[in-house]
Amino acid sequence: MKAMLIALSLIQAAAPVSDGAQDATERSIGLRDRWQWLTRDIAFPAEWDSDGRHFHYRKTVAGGFAFVDVDAATQAKRPAFDAAALAPALARVLERPVDPLRLPFEHFAYQDGRGAIVAMIDYQPYRCTLVAPQCEKLVDRHRPRGFGVVRDLSVPALNDPQASPDGRLEALVIDDNLVVRDAGGGREHWRSADGSAGDFYDPESIAWAPDGRHVAAYRVQPGYRRIVTRVVAAPPGRVQPVLAEQLYPKPGDAVDRERPVIFDTASGRRTVVADTLFPNAYTLSNLRWRKDGRSVAFDYLRRGFDQAKVIAVDADSGVAHAAVTEDTKTFIHAERRFLHDVNDAGRELIWASERDGWRHLYLIDGTTGRVKRQITKGDWVVRDIAHVDDAKRRIWFSASGVTPGEDPYHKHWFRVDFDGRNLVRLTDGNEMHEASFSPDATRFVDVHSRTDRPEVAELRDGDTGRVIAVLERGDASALTAAGFRPPETFVAKGRDGRTDIWGLVVRPRDYDPAKRYPVIENIYAGPHDSFVPKGFWPFGGFSGGDKAMGMQQIADLGFVVVMIDGMGTANRSKAFHDVAWKNLDDSGFPDRIAWIKALAAKDRAVDITRVGIYGGSAGGQSTLNALLFHPDFYTAGVAYAGCFDNRMDKIEWNEQWLGWPVDQSYLDASGVVHAAKLQGRLLMVVGEQDSNVDPASTMQVVDALIRADKDFELLVVPNGEHAAGRTTGPVRYAQRRQYDFFRRTLLGEQTPNRNAR
Average pLDDT over residues 520-525: 98
Closest Cα to residue 574, out of 304, 324, 379? 379
Alpha-carbon distances of 672 from 103, 527, 653, rounded to whole Å: 42, 21, 19
DSSP helix/strand/coil, 671: coil
- CA gap 654, 589 in Å, rounded: 19
Residue 71, pLDDT score: 98
748 pLDDT above the threshold of 90: yes
DSSP helix/strand/coil, 695: coil
Q: What are phi and psi of 418, to 5 degrees?
A: -55, -30
Closest Cα to residue 189, out of 212, 219, 221, 207? 212
Residue 148, pLDDT score: 97
Residue 36, pLDDT score: 83
- CA gap 637, 671 in Å, rounded: 14
8 Cα distance to chain centroid: 34
Query: Would you place residue 37 in the very low, low, confident or very high pLDDT band (cuts 50, 70, 90)?
Result: confident
Angle value at C-alpha 403, between 401 and 407, nearest 5 degrees? 55
18 pLDDT above the threshold of 80: no
Closest Cα to residue 296, out of 278, 316, 281? 316
Q: Where are the domains of the chain?
A: 2-35+491-756, 47-139, 142-276
pLDDT in tens, 196-239: 999 999 999 999 999 999 999 999 999 999 999 999 999 999 99
pLDDT in tens, 271-314: 999 999 999 999 999 999 999 999 999 999 999 999 999 999 99
Class of the CATH-defined domain 2-35+491-756? alpha beta
- Which residues are paired to 640 by β-bridges? 616, 685
Q: Which residues contact 156 (CB under 8 A, 6 or more apart)?
A: 143
Count the Cβ atoms, other than its own, within 10 Å of residue 156.
Answer: 10
Average pLDDT over residues 470-496: 95
Residue 539, pLDDT score: 53
- CA gap 383, 276 in Å, rounded: 33
DSSP helix/strand/coil, 31: helix
Beta-carbon-side half-sphere exposure of residue 565 (alpha carbons within 13 Å): 23
Residue 38 carries which side chain, given as an amino acid letter?
L
Residue 115, pLDDT score: 97
Residue 756, pLDDT score: 84
Average pLDDT over residues 255-275: 97
Roughly what angle, to the nearest 10 degrees, separates helices 731-746 and 545-555? 40
Query: Would you place residue 538 in the very low, low, confident or very high pLDDT band (cuts 50, 70, 90)?
Result: low
Query: Would you place residue 549 in the very low, low, confident or very high pLDDT band (cuts 50, 70, 90)?
Result: confident
DSSP helix/strand/coil, 66: strand
- CA gap 81, 175 in Å, rounded: 47
Residue 616 carries which side chain, given as an amino acid letter?
G
The DSSP string of 321-353 is EEEEEEE-SS---GGG--EEEGGGSSSEEEEEE
- Tell me what percent of the residues of the chain surpass a pLDDT of 90: 90
Residue 154 carries which side chain, given as an amino acid letter?
S
Residue 33, pLDDT score: 85
H or E stretch at 386: strand 381-389
The DSSP string of 547-577 is HHHHHHHHHTTT-EEEEEE-BTBSSS-HHHH
Count the Cβ atoms, other than its own, within 10 Å of residue 679.
Answer: 13
Q: What are phi and psi of 374, to 5 degrees?
A: -85, 120
pLDDT in tens, 109-156: 999 999 999 999 988 999 999 999 999 999 999 999 999 999 999 999
12 pLDDT above the threshold of 80: no
Average pLDDT over residues 32-51: 86
Query: Would you place residue 38 in the very low, low, confident or very high pLDDT band (cuts 50, 70, 90)?
Result: confident
Query: Would you place residue 5 in the very low, low, confident or very high pLDDT band (cuts 50, 70, 90)?
Result: very low
Q: Indicate the average pLDDT of the chain.
A: 94
Closest Cα to residue 432, out of 369, 504, 362, 508? 504
pLDDT in tens, 703-722: 999 999 999 999 999 999 99
pLDDT in tens, 620-659: 999 999 999 999 999 999 999 999 999 999 999 999 999 9
pLDDT in tens, 351-371: 999 999 999 999 999 999 999
Angle value at C-alpha 322, between 318 and 325, nearest 5 degrees? 160
Residue 725, pLDDT score: 58
Residue 454 carries which side chain, given as an amino acid letter?
P
Query: Would you place residue 3 in the very low, low, confident or very high pLDDT band (cuts 50, 70, 90)?
Result: very low
- Extract the runs of DSSP E, i.e. beta strands, from 250-304: 257-264, 270-272, 281-284, 288-289, 295-302
Residue 1, pLDDT score: 34
727 pLDDT above the threshold of 90: no
Whether the Cβ atoms of residue 668 and residue 580 lie closer than 8 Å to each other: no
Output 755 or 445, whichever has higher pLDDT.
Answer: 445
Residue 542, pLDDT score: 39
559 pLDDT above the threshold of 90: yes
